[in-house]
A and B are shown apart, each in its own frame.
Chain A
Amino acid sequence: MRLVLVLLGLVTFVTPLAAQNDSVLRRAMQDELARSMQGLHLDTMPRPYFIAYRIDESDVLTVAASRGSLLHRNGTRGRVLTVEVRVGDYTFDNTNFFAMPTGSDFVVLEGGWEGRNAEIPLDDDYGVLRRQLWLATDIAYKEALEQYSRKRAAQTGSGHTPALPDFSRDSVATTTDTISAPAPSADAAIALARQLSLLLRDAHEIEQSEVSVTAQRQRTIYLNSEGSSFTRSLPNATVRVDAVTRTADGMPLGETWTARAATVSDLPSPDSLSAATRGLVTTLIRRRAAVTADVYHGPVLLSGAAAAQVFRSVIGSRLIAVRRPTSDIPAFEAMAARHQDPFLDELGARVLPKFLSVSDNPTLTTFAGHFVGGFRVDDDGVRTHETRIVDHGILKTLLSTRVPVRGVPSSSGNRHEDRPVVSTMIVTPDSGLPDAALRQRLLSLVAERGLPYGIIVRRVGGAALSTMDNPFAMMAGMAERMQGTPSFETSEAVRLYPDGHEEQIRGATVADLSLPAFRDIVAASRTQTVYSAASLIPDLPAEVPAFFRIRAALGYPSTYVVPDLLFEELSVKPTGDEVPPRPVVPPPWANAHSP
């Protein structure tokens, strides 16, 4: 069996991306862009007024281990081309429009082209790159023409004049934003995953566990017909620990812990990662002793990660300007109107208490010692800067791309792929309370209400490993989020009694946490928690082609910096999920270690 390891040794990451010269790619992009701007037109149809090429190049390593043993190691390298072609002009072009797909739109896929996205060679072969750019531009232009004429027809039919331009004029930028990093080392990642997962094996209370390490280098090369161009390169590494234990009555309790850095070697020291993993085990074991939750209405303190998780889900991730497309299908327009972001058309409204302000700052690479990534130029080629989104409770603007929405006429420099993203979002209180004072404030609210205790929620959501056992809860959660009244299952919550002692509860859900509740936040802490939302590259099955792996790895891991938030009135209810019976068979390690 050991022979197989000889084969594995062949996985090499020979091309150091950051060190690689981008001149061949860039020359091919420049030449084809110039030729297309000059010559690309069909009969009497309009020529493109804007073309942009973006090549995302990714080198991704994912490894996972369980109980000291390797689950998988996958390395993928690839390049994906995205072509953007606009016809018409800045005021009215082919975009921000949704047309019913016609049969021919699907047939294009036969040829292997994913519309305007294409996989392009890893080799810096000028001729092949030109050829791929040529074909992708041709397809994108024809699609743009079709959309443009259908949009014109729909507009003429409806008699509406468009209120907003389709594309903003932003300044031209030429930037290089590269952090060089060595090729991800599989050996180091594997060693780390094994080492941490062994710690989980040694805790007999942990039934399932997994440690994943991903390391990624991403380089983006961009060029548009206005003259903007950039090369951006960002390394990103994540370690993630998942563990599940079970209470005496069979309820699975899961938890996840992650750490991020630019590279695997920049992650916290093995000793501190080990300490964090042991801490996770201790936390889970402590939670097994928790009492089950009762129905509770009253003041709730969202503390630490829970505050960031809930803020992100209800408010933060929606502070983006996504234009609602027009359509030639009335039903689509009606649906889009129902599902539009709640913050569109809310500029000037109070969305948070007066003592809270929110900003987003893509230029940050670290925050309070935590790696947060960051970017100096976005996927429109717009230079990034800090944006103050909420000023003393009042919504001032939204994070945007070059696609204007009402009240947000230009880009904030937050485009990533095809939409605005949160980079590092910081919630700042005017005068945050020290932790002890905030606890005291909670207790005084409890006393005012004549309640026996208050509730502090420290973490919501469980481990990825245990959610697959409860698909119903997952589905229900999705439905609630669509209705705008999400609920959050707590993974760590306590009752705080007037004498100051805490009692752990489990199976509790913070119910119906809607937007208005945030306006009534009564206090916030001085300390802030740094929380990275989704930072792990999805682990796709081996048969998924590189093109989709690379695409999946392009998502931007947003960071939220949020103080503890004290709500005057929230509902906490028992989750009420059916508890699966405890396994009939004892775990295989039980005999070896217990009498």
Chain B
Amino acid sequence: MLQAMQHELNRNLTALRAQPLPPFFLSYEVSEVHSYTIRSTFGAITEDAQHRQRALVVDLRVGTPRLDNTHAARSDFPDFADVMEMGDRSVDVPIDDDTAALQAVLWTQTDRKYRQATRHLASVRASAAVSVEAEDTAPDFSAEPAVQYADTIATQTIDSAAWEAKLRSYTAPFRRFADIYDAEATLDAEIETRWYVNSDGTAIVTSQPIDRLYVTAYSRAKDGMYLPRYESFMAFTLQGLPDDATVLKAVDHMIADLHRLQAAPVADPYTGPAILTGRASAVFFHEVFGHRIEGQREKREDEGQTFKKAVNQAVLPPGLSVYSDPTLSRLGATDLAGFYRYDDEGVAARRVTVVQNGILKNFLMSRSPIEGFSHSNGHGRSQVGLTPVARQSNLIVEAARPRTHAQLKAMLIAEIKRQHKPYGLLFDDIEGGFTITGRGEPNAFAVLPIMVYRVYPDGREELVRGVDFVGTPLTVFSRILAADDQVAVFNGLCGAESGLVPVSAVSPGVLLAQVEVQKKPKAADEPPILPAPEN
């Protein structure tokens, strides 16, 4: 495979170099996703499907590394031809290892990309000639060393009958409850294999299984409020997924939580102190902090550039450090979803210290440099078939002086009293979150909690429902008071311009002097009219 790709790359490059506008860089990435999905609902199988597909992404650059065809042309309107070509950014390539058939696709796609690149460069140059100087004058493309690496191709054997039986058993317990309206368990067993070559001489094969098991269920409160619960598990091998007893225990826990949530009072909008437990805090750091240290967010002129001028300045309280480490495959007993050896631009993954003792040191970099950061640090990532940008991997938050959870709670109560608040909040489980980093809209975030407790000055905890944690990044970072020693891992899929990529966030629980919560959007649906049919 690699040889055929290299051969075709050289052949195309040799011919194109004789053109008036020769490419200075060309890369091919063929990625294969081989996925197996089995799903059940209430103890019955709804899906058992397997897919295997390979996609090709060609990166072809004309112009110079300083100003090339990928440079954001300053126009209010996207190039119409590009919008229409979104659909063929990646094309299917044969899943057989048939080099002649592969080369035919490489040739067709290189031609298409070359035509597109020359068209883009013309508009980039025109735009550069009439625009004011950019806020960030870094070049468009960095030089990186050539690397060679080859994984053996991973395989997974899935006993579909056994897994169907497991998945049936995971959702069967929900059947006993008429007030749980949907319950699903899904196994996504996937192998992602990538073959990458570029004109620098880099040639890489990586092959990584990633297996996910998730259970979702929802109920409704009497007032119609939608009440979901999620549990997810991730491992690099099927054997690494939890055993049946562990999953069934989580299912029982979900059922109990759903019933507790039904009975829980609706929380009011509130500001005051709060604790985020490890998992909640991990999502919080991923959304609010992690996205803002992705290099291109400090470069593009439509981005908020939150930290552009903050290098070597305090951005978090002293004692907190943050690093991004894609080379870490495990933490304790947990596999980390953000692990990889080489990024999708053929650059070796490496640990990046982003914040040291509260001081911002570095950004997550792809091959798109920003001022002061002229090289990639192996964070150019994308979903299969999309163009890579700087993305998170394993984001790890460390506290220099961790407290115990009890100490953190005591600090929360002290803070409640100091602020004369009737109660504080504790965010335990979350379903995810989102953030806006662009300009023209409030640069805000939301973390969507499922399990939220009011903590009263006497230490009593009361489950409430129906609120989201919202805020703006710079304000909220300044309110972090302390962290505990209960480090938790959140493995998930992160969606951004280069698609969905697996990431981890690892964080201790943190205490914030002030958070703001707003009401969740509410459904008006009443519970079903007829009682559940008898089974």
Give, as a whole number of angstroms, the nearest-CB distance from B180 to chain A. Answer: 10
Which residues of chain A come closer than 8 Å to B50, judged between CB atoms?
8, 10-11, 75
* Given contacts A471-B84, A546-B47, A208 and B529 within 8 Å (CB-CB): no
Known: A32-B533, A72-B53. A127 touches B95 (CB 8 A): no
* Option from B11, B160, B168, B530 in Cβ contact (under 8 Å) with A10: B160
- Contacts known (A108-B525, A138-B528); A585 close to B46, Cβ less than 8 A: no
Cβ contact within 8 Å between B96 and A69: yes
Task: List the B side residues contacting A586 at CB < 8 Å.
Answer: 15
Does A583 belong to the interface (CB within 8 Å)?
yes
Do A121 and B157 touch (CB < 8 A)?
no
Find the B residue at minimum CB distance from A125: B44
CA distance A103 to B92 in the complex (A): 39
A380 to B35, CA, bound (A): 38
| A77 touching B48, Cβ below 8 Å | yes
Residues of B within 8 A of A469 (CB): 112
Task: For B53, give its contact among A3, A31, A110, A542 (CB under 8 Å).
Answer: A542
Q: Is the CB of A7 within 8 A of B34?
A: yes
Which B residues lie within 8 Å of A77 (CB)? Answer: 47-49
- What B residues does A134 contact at CB under 8 A? 528, 530, 532-533
Chain A residues within 8 Å of B96, by CB: 69-70
List chain B residues, Cβ under 8 A from A72.
51-53, 92, 95
CB pair B160–A584 under 8 Å, yes or no, is no
Tell me if A35 is interfacial: C-beta within 8 Å of chain B.
yes
Known A108-B523, A584-B19; contact A122-B156, beta-carbon cutoff 8 A: no
Q: How far is the CB of B88 from chain A (nearest CB, A)?
A: 6
Are B41 and A121 interface neighbours, CB within 8 A? yes
Q: How far is the CB of B350 from chain A (nearest CB, A)?
A: 29
Give the total of B residues in contact with A, Cβ under 8 Å.
Answer: 79
Set of chain A residues within 8 Å of B87, measured between Cβ atoms:
468
Enumerate B489-535 residues with CB–CB distance to A below 8 Å.
521-526, 528-530, 532-533, 535
Taking a contact as CB atoms under 8 Å apart, the answer to whether B101 and A583 are in contact is: no
Asked if residues A67 and B47 are in contact (CB atoms below 8 Å), the reply is no
Partner pick for B532 among A68, A112, A131, CB 8 A cutoff = A131
Interchain CB contact under 8 A, B522 and A111: no
User: Across the interface, which residues of B come within 8 angstroms of A207, CB to CB?
Assistant: 108
B101's closest neighbor in chain A, by CB? Answer: A69
Contact indicator A107/B535 (Cβ below 8 Å) = no
- Bound CA span A541–B35, Å: 12
**In the bound complex, do residue A130 and residue B529 qualify as a contact, i.e. CB atoms below 8 Å apart?**
no
A-B contact pairs, 26 of them (CB 8 A): A3-B153, A7-B158, A10-B158, A68-B98, A70-B94, A71-B92, A71-B93, A72-B53, A74-B51, A77-B49, A79-B46, A104-B523, A110-B218, A122-B44, A123-B44, A127-B533, A128-B44, A131-B42, A131-B533, A134-B533, A468-B87, A542-B35, A583-B111, A585-B11, A588-B100, A589-B104
Known contacts A4-B155, A7-B157, A585-B11; A71 and B181 CB within 8 A of each other: no
Contact of A75 with B101 in the complex, beta carbons under 8 Å: no
B98 touches A67 (CB 8 A): yes
B103 interface contact, C-beta 8 A: yes
Looking at the assembled complex, report how far the CB atom of A6 sits from the nearest CB atom of chain B, in whole angstroms. Answer: 7
Q: Give the shortest distance, in Å, between A109 (CB) and chain B (any CB).
A: 10
Closest 4 CB pairs of A and B: A471-B84, A121-B44, A69-B101, A69-B94
How many angstroms between the C-alpha atoms of A12 and B88 in the bound complex? Answer: 31
User: What 9 additional pairs, Cβ within 8 angstroms, besides A72-B95, A131-B175?
Assistant: A66-B101, A69-B101, A107-B226, A111-B218, A121-B40, A138-B528, A545-B47, A585-B111, A589-B100
Interface: B134 (CB within 8 A): no
Contact A471–B85 (Cβ < 8 Å):
yes
Most buried by B among A74, A128, A141: A128
A14 to chain B minimum Cβ distance, whole angstroms, is 9
Contact with A along B22-51 (1 / 0, CB 8 A): 000000000001111101111111111111
Say yes or no for A449: interface residue by CB 8 A criterion: no
CB of A45, distance to nearest CB on chain B (Å): 10
- Residues of B contacting A79 in the complex (Cβ-Cβ under 8 angstroms): 46
A71–B529 alpha-carbon span in the complex (Å): 49
Is A120 among interface residues, defined by CB-CB distance under 8 A?
A: yes
Q: Contact at A125–B94, with CB atoms within 8 Å?
A: no
Task: Tell me the B387-441 residues at the A interface (CB within 8 Å).
Answer: none
Q: Given A67-B98, A542-B53, verify A584-B114 contact (CB < 8 Å).
A: yes
* Those of A6-23 within 8 Å (CB) of chain B: 6-8, 10-12
Contact A110 B34 (CB under 8 A): no
A125 near B43 with CB under 8 A, answer yes
Render B76-88 as a binary contact track against A, CB cut-off 8 A, 1 for contact.
0000010011011
Q: Which residue of chain B lies nearest to A1 when distances are taken between CB atoms in the complex?
A: B97
Task: Tell whether A342 is near chain B: CB-to-CB under 8 Å.
Answer: no
A3 to B107, CA, bound (A): 28
| In the bound complex, CA of A120 to CA of B115 (Å) | 47
Does residue A519 face the partner (Cβ distance < 8 Å to B)? no
- At the interface, yes or no: A335 with Cβ under 8 Å from chain B? no
Closest to B15 in A: A585
Residues B34 and A4 in contact, CB atoms below 8 Å apart: yes
Q: B126 on the interface (CB 8 Å rule)?
A: no
B interface vs A, CB < 8 Å? 1, 8, 11-12, 15-16, 19, 33-37, 39-53, 81, 84-85, 87-88, 92-98, 100-108, 110-112, 114-115, 153, 155-158, 160, 168, 175, 181-182, 184, 218, 226, 228, 521-526, 528-530, 532-533, 535
Shortest distance from the beta carbon of A576 to any chain B beta carbon, whole Å: 17
Query: Is A119 engaged at the interface, CB distance under 8 Å to the other chain?
Result: yes
Distance of A135 from chain B, by nearest CB (Å):
6
Question: Does A78 sit at the interface, judged by CB under 8 A?
Answer: yes
How far apart sit A322 and B148, CA to CA, in the bound complex (Å)?
62
Set of chain B residues within 8 Å of A132, measured between Cβ atoms: 41
Closest-by-CB residue of A relative to B218 is: A111
Which A residues between 66 and 104 are near B, CB-CB below 8 angstroms? 66-79, 103-104
Q: Contacts of B95 on A, CB cut-off 8 Å?
A: 69-73
B32 to chain A, nearest CB (A): 8
Could you say which residues of chain A place their CB within 8 Å of the CB of B88? 468
The distance in angstroms between the C-alpha atoms of A103 and B523, with both chains bound, is 8
A526 within 8 A of B: no
**Given B15, B51, B218, which contacts A584 in the complex, CB threshold below 8 Å?**
B15
* Docked pose: A8 CA to B53 CA in angstroms: 12
Closest CB of chain B to A507's CB: distance in Å? 20
Tell me if A337 counts as interface (CB < 8 A to partner B): no
Chain B: minimal CB distance from A206 (Å): 10
Q: Does A581 contact B (CB under 8 A)?
A: yes
- A67-B523 CB under 8 A given contacts A7-B156, A120-B46, A128-B175: no
**From residue A441, how far is it (CB to closest CB) to chain B in Å?**
42
Question: Once bound together, how far apart are the Cα atoms of A113 and B523, in whole Å?
Answer: 14
Distance in angstroms between the alpha carbons of A104 and B226 in the assembled complex: 11
- The answer on a CB contact under 8 Å between A542 and B33 is yes
Contact B226 A583 (CB under 8 A): no
**Contact stretch, chosen from A36-44, A150-158, A382-390, A427-435:** A36-44
Shortest beta-carbon distance from A390 to chain B in Å: 38
Q: Are B533 and A141 in contact (CB under 8 A)?
A: no
Q: Hey, what's the 0/1 contact readout for A561-595 against B, CB within 8 Å counting as 1? A: 00000000000000000001101111111000000
Say if the beta carbon of A142 comes within 8 Å of chain B.
yes
Which residues of A have CB within 8 Å of B40? 121
A585-B11 Cα distance, complex, nearest whole Å: 8
Q: Is the CB of B43 within 8 A of A128?
A: yes
CB distance from B189 to the nearest CB of A (A): 10
User: Is the pair A39, B530 in contact by a Cβ cutoff of 8 Å?
Assistant: yes
A452-494 interface code vs B (CB 8 A; 1 in, 0 out)? 0000000000000000110110010000000000000000000
Q: Using CB atoms, name the residue of chain B closest to A137.
A: B530
Contact indicator A123/B45 (Cβ below 8 Å): yes
Q: Is the CB of B533 within 8 A of A31?
A: yes
A542: nearest residue on chain B (CB-CB)?
B51
Contact with B along A50-72 (1 / 0, CB 8 A): 00000000000000111111111
Q: Are B15 and A127 in contact, with the CB atoms below 8 A?
A: no
Residues of A within 8 A of B81 (CB): 471
Q: How far is it, in angstroms, between the C-alpha of A39 and the C-alpha of B530 when the chains are bound?
A: 7
Q: Determine how close the nearest CB of chain A comes to the CB of B458; give it in whole angstroms.
A: 36
